[in-house]
């Protein structure tokens, strides 16, 4: 049996697995992600968060998307990871943990978590880049917030349904000179001088999700550049609210960024042998069984 915890950050949901002995290898974690994240036939989630040890940090967070790919960073996932680590006493409420995108600081206070994303540079960002697929033209804004993001502020946001955002996401999320590793896609709307609404198609999930932390940051920074909006910016996602705090560093166009929002523990339990056997290949199931038996 494999223990799991299900959590969500504003509806962006994850399964948390501990791999403190690092017995679960990369390809097995990838297989577990695709097996466990499928909704209806399994537990269902946008991804799995894996807790591993790290040298001079408290811990390392790894995130595997629903399609089995490993992501560099996830803002909502990082907030869930931090709350899990603090609740399980694996790290203090004020902690630093490692990710593929670099070290992340976190401050956990009850259900709210603020994470420090470090510095985000807009030096290589693109603003109002005209993109066309032959049928439509859109001004795109592209930047990296640990992971690549594209932000669109459409002229008629009310016309953009989740289905249309998904189609745009799938059109942009493929290797191109503009997005060599694909991209997340955010369709955003200004609501006031200090608030936005943003809906995100997430790379790796290959669908619109209820919330995206790095997408909220990307949307807020683009809004600050295009419309002069000041920190903090409240970003409404379909699943809840993220608040983005930012300040320019000593380097021009480089910002120190923090992300604030709620996290929720949903469930704890054990993954059943029957369910795992159905969803994993015989080789992966045998290796998982061996890893469990040997601790």
Contact 78/92 with Cβ under 8 angstroms? no
CA atoms of 69 and 33, how far apart (whole Å): 8
SS3 207: strand
Instruction: Decide if 212 is catalytic.
Output: yes
**Annotated catalytic residue, options 37, 74, 80, 150:** 74
Q: How many CB atoms lie within 10 A of CB 155?
A: 7
Per the structure block, which two tokens stand in for 202? 């997430």
CA atoms of 26 and 248, how far apart (whole Å): 37
CB-based contacts of 14: which residues, under 8 Å, 6+ apart?
Answer: 6, 7, 8, 45, 46, 47, 48, 49, 63, 76, 77, 80
Contact 69/30 with Cβ under 8 angstroms? yes
Instruction: Decide if 150 is catalytic.
Output: no
CA atoms of 206 and 137, how far apart (whole Å): 22
Per the structure block, which two tokens stand in for 18? 């501990």
Omega cis (within 30) before 232 = yes
Per the structure block, which two tokens stand in for 227? 């419309």
**Annotated catalytic residue, options 37, 80, 150, 212:** 212
CA atoms of 210 and 247, how far apart (whole Å): 27
Residues involved in catalysis = 74, 212
């Amino acid at each position: 049996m494999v223990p799991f915890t299900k959590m969500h950050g504003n509806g962006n949901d994850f399964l948390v697995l501990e791999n403190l002995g690092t017995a679960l290898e990369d390809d097995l974690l990838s297989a577990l992600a695709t097996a466990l994240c499928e909704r209806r036939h399994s537990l269902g989630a946008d991804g799995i968060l894996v807790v591993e040890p790290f040298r001079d940090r408290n811990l390392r967070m790894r995130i595997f998307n629903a399609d089995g790919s490993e992501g560099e960073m996830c803002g909502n996932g990082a907030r869930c990871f931090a709350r899990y680590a603090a609740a399980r006493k694996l790290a203090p409420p004020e902690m630093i943990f490692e990710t593929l995108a670099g070290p992340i600081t976190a401050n956990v206070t009850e259900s709210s978590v603020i994470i420090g994303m470090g510095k985000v540079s807009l030096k290589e960002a693109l603003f109002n880049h005209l993109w066309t697929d032959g049928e439509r033209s859109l001004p795109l804004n592209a930047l990296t917030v640990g992971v690549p993001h594209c932000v669109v502020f459409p002229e008629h946001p009310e016309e953009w349904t989740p289905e249309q955002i998904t189609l745009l996401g799938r059109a942009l999320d493929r290797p191109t000179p503009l997005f060599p590793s694909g991209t997340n896609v955010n369709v955003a709307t200004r609501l006031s001088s200090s608030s936005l609404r943003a809906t995100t198609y997430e790379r790796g999930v290959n669908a619109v999700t209820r919330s995206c932390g790095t997408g909220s940051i990307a949307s807020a920074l683009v809004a600050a550049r295009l419309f002069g909006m000041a920190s903090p910016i409240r970003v409404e996602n379909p699943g809840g609210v993220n608040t983005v705090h930012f300040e320019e560093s000593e380097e021009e166009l480089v910002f120190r960024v923090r992300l604030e929002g709620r996290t929720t523990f949903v469930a704890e339990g054990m993954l059943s042998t029957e369910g795992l056997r159905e969803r994993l290949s015989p080789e992966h199931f045998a290796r998982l069984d061996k890893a469990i038996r040997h601790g």
